[in-house]
Amino acid sequence: MGQGRGSGVSKAQAQNAEAPELRIRPAEAADLGQVIAIDAGVTGIEKTDYWYELFHRYGGGRTRQRLFLVAESGDVIQGFIIGEIRDWEFGSAPCGWVFGLSVRADARLAGVGTRMLEAICDGFRHGGVNKVRTLLARDNSLVLSFFRSQGMMAAQFIPLEMDLDRL
């Protein structure tokens, strides 16, 4: 007889107990293949050059200002988050900006995004700031729900844009 009712351990609990621990750490070059695949799964575009360039500037835990973190479980990268501390830009005191965040589709709703945001906010605090900001597409209700769930609110800024070939 297997683990049926009354054994006291559900299948989900048993799987969870077997799942390798989730670790949030600075991205390494060897992670880029998985990061590129996660991003391509979300955006539909495989931007290999972009990611290598980004890693060059943000990866490896080189500076306190720039953070490129991954969530790793065993040898699987479950998600990534990228941000930086910008000093006195947009007319504001130095603050942390999150500008990239994705969790592998089959790893969502398990707290991975929350753990990564906590980790990058710890990094921002360590870098001496006490505010975090982000920018997202107006129609991305998933990402909006996530950030709202973390306590983020509408900010005192509006984004502006124009087409450069209009003149």
Ligand X SMILES: CC(C)(COP(=O)(O)OP(=O)(O)OC[C@H]1O[C@@H](n2cnc3c(N)ncnc32)[C@H](O)[C@@H]1OP(=O)(O)O)[C@@H](O)C(=O)NCCC(=O)NCCS
CB under 8 Å to 49, separation ≥6 — which residues? none
Give alpha helix (H) positions in 4-140: 11-18, 32-43, 48-58, 112-126
Alpha-carbon distance 47 to 10, whole Å?
Answer: 41
Helix (H, G, I), strand (E, B) or coil at 38: helix
**For ligand X, which is the closer residue by CB, 3 or 37?**
37
In the complex with ligand X, the residue whose CB is nearer, 130 or 141, is: 141
Of 79 and 123, the one with the shorter C-beta distance to ligand X is 79
DSSP state, residue 20: P
CB of 101 to ligand X, least distance (A): 5
Cβ-contact 21, 73 below 8 angstroms: yes
- Measured from the CB atom, the residue of 51 and 146 that comes closer to ligand X is 146
DSSP state of 21: P
Position closest to ligand X via CB:
113
CB of 7 to ligand X, least distance (A): 27
User: Nearest approach, Cβ of 136 to ligand X (angstroms)?
Assistant: 6
In the complex, the residues that contact ligand X under the rule CB under 6 A are 42, 100-103, 108-114, 140, 142-143, 145-146, 149
Listed in sequence order, the residues at least 6 apart from 107 whose beta carbon sits closer than 8 Å to its beta carbon are 73, 78, 79
Whichever of 95 and 103 has its CB closer to ligand X, that residue is 103
- Shortest distance in whole angstroms from residue 167 CB to ligand X: 30
Whole-number minimum distance, CB 108 to ligand X, in Å? 3
